[in-house]
A and B are shown apart, each in its own frame.
Chain A
Amino acid sequence: MNEGASAIDLVLSADPVLVEIVRLSLLVSLSAVAMAALIGVPFGALLALTRFPGREAVIVVLNALMGLPPVVVGLLVYLLLSRSGPLGELGLLFTPEAMVIAQTILVAPILAALARQTIEDLWLEYRDEFAALNIAPAQRIATLIWEGRFSLVTALLAGFGRAAAEVGAIIIVGGNIEGFTRTMTTAIALETSKGDLALATGLGIVLIGIVVIVNALAWTTRRAGERFAGI
């Protein structure tokens, strides 16, 4: 009870430690989603619009990668970035950049798989019209992405939800260093084991609030899509 009250106090008083942790969490996860979108959406579009041997296998693997365990991604990135690893010289381990890389790897398959599905469905719907209207290939891809805008935004939000809520990958590659790589999820894990339940609960409240907002945005996007686009 006491912890609950002081947790709410921390949130309402915008405690500087808490605010800094939330700020870093959002920065890392939003950067990761942006990177993942730049990689995943074009890859998904390419996969939707090309035919090659082994394509179906690539789609199955991609769909499977949506459920990639965060700790395994963390381990993988750790091995890549550790001092003796292939990218060790960059000195990125235990930095926010390392956390962005790990979350990008987690989110990119989600965006690629959902973009592939969305764009392929739209392609089947519009390909005859594109041919009849004599639309150039680059313009076709731009049109498909725009026509899929509501679904793609929903996919981005799903990717952000996954990134913001995961702890396994960033605690390994970030190291949960106070004031540098400490995020909401890693702080909750640490503070709970240390017994500082007030900060952990306060961060939990903020995290749940963010998840609710993200889902509300996804819902609004879908409703807007139904109303304006009839999807």
Chain B
Amino acid sequence: MRAPDSDLPIVFDGVTVKAGAVTILDGISLRFEPGAPTVLIGPNGAGKTTLLRAAMGLFPPAAGRITWGGRDQVPPTRRAFVFQRPAMLRRSASGNVRYALASAGVARADRAVRARDLLERVGLAGLADRPARRLSGGEQQRLAIARALARNPTVLFLDEPTASLDPASTKTMEDLIAAITASGVKVVMTTHDLAEARRLAGEVVLLHRGRVLEAGPADSFFTAPKTDEARRFTAGELLV
């Protein structure tokens, strides 16, 4: 079951990503280490989602280098990604998880039991047989996490996991993220909610216009930001 190597740390070394002529990430150097969640914050269009996707390995950088556990070009078998609007398959909740288990190479005989465990873990055990696309937004978001965990990942990327959720669903999601972290999975996530970053983050990365303005432990980031922009951003000012 367990692969010998971890994908951690994930190291960005001068990574630039372009979409046509537009530079979306501009010379990013970063490390994602095991431990408490790393939370990417910054204004819209700062490059948070692109950074997350690049770390997943969904596209190669135009310049620079990304390594996973010291290796290049590692297929995403031990990494998982939950998109901001996850696309549910047209099957039951359990069917979605079993699909992910199959894609991760889990034997057919084991899938039903594993799917039940995963749905229980995200609090959807009672909805296993419901059509996935009939679930609420928060439930679909948690189902997407169950699907992601089916890969038994070492690192889990979450893109705005609580955007457009009501406070109760947000609380459920944050508790789930804490539980996942406690189980030894590294969470790297984006949010536009500073209070959420405070609650969850072990490390914070502040992005602006495709560059890292400041990165470091959450405590010192929020109590003693080093840069003027971070001070203004954490004080609730708009970075434009």
B58 at the interface (CB under 8 A from A): yes
* A residues less than 8 Å from B98 (CB atoms): none
Shortest CB-to-CB span from A222 to chain B, Å, is 13
A131 at the interface (CB under 8 A from B): yes
* B residues less than 8 Å from A134 (CB atoms): 75-77, 103
* B residues less than 8 Å from A147 (CB atoms): 89-90
Q: Which B100-128 residues sit within 8 Å CB-CB of chain A?
A: 100, 103
Let me know if B87 and A229 touch, CB within 8 A: no
CA gap between A26 and B31 in the complex, in Å: 66
A52 at the interface (CB under 8 A from B): no
Interface string of A215-231 (1 = CB under 8 A from B): 00000000001011111
* Residue of B with least CB distance to A135: B103
Q: Of B81, B86, B90, which contacts A230 at CB under 8 A?
A: B90
Report if A231-B87 is in contact (Cβ < 8 Å); known contacts: A132-B58, A134-B103: no
B206 at the interface (CB under 8 A from A): no
Let me know if A229 and B103 touch, CB within 8 A: no
Let me know if A230 and B134 touch, CB within 8 A: yes
* B58, B90, B99, B147, most chain A CB atoms within 10 A: B90
Let me know if A133 and B103 touch, CB within 8 A: yes
* B residues less than 8 Å from A149 (CB atoms): 90
B65 at the interface (CB under 8 A from A): no
A12-20, A27-35, A122-130 - the one binding chain B: A122-130
Let me know if B131 and A227 touch, CB within 8 A: yes
* B80, B86, B131, most chain A CB atoms within 10 A: B131
Let me know if B133 and A143 touch, CB within 8 A: no
CA gap between A179 and B100 in the complex, in Å: 54
CA gap between A231 and B133 in the complex, in Å: 8
Let me know if A229 and B133 touch, CB within 8 A: yes
B204 at the interface (CB under 8 A from A): no
Shortest CB-to-CB span from A125 to chain B, Å, is 5
Shortest CB-to-CB span from B106 to chain A, Å, is 13
Report if A128-B131 is in contact (Cβ < 8 Å); known contacts: A133-B100, A135-B103: no
* B residues less than 8 Å from A135 (CB atoms): 103
Let me know if A128 and B134 touch, CB within 8 A: no
- A-binding residues in B (CB < 8 A): 56, 58, 75-77, 80-81, 83, 86-91, 99-100, 103, 131-134, 147-148, 151
Contacts A131-B58, A135-B103 given; 11 further ones with Cβ under 8 A?
A129-B87, A131-B76, A132-B83, A134-B103, A147-B90, A149-B90, A225-B90, A229-B90, A229-B91, A230-B131, A230-B133
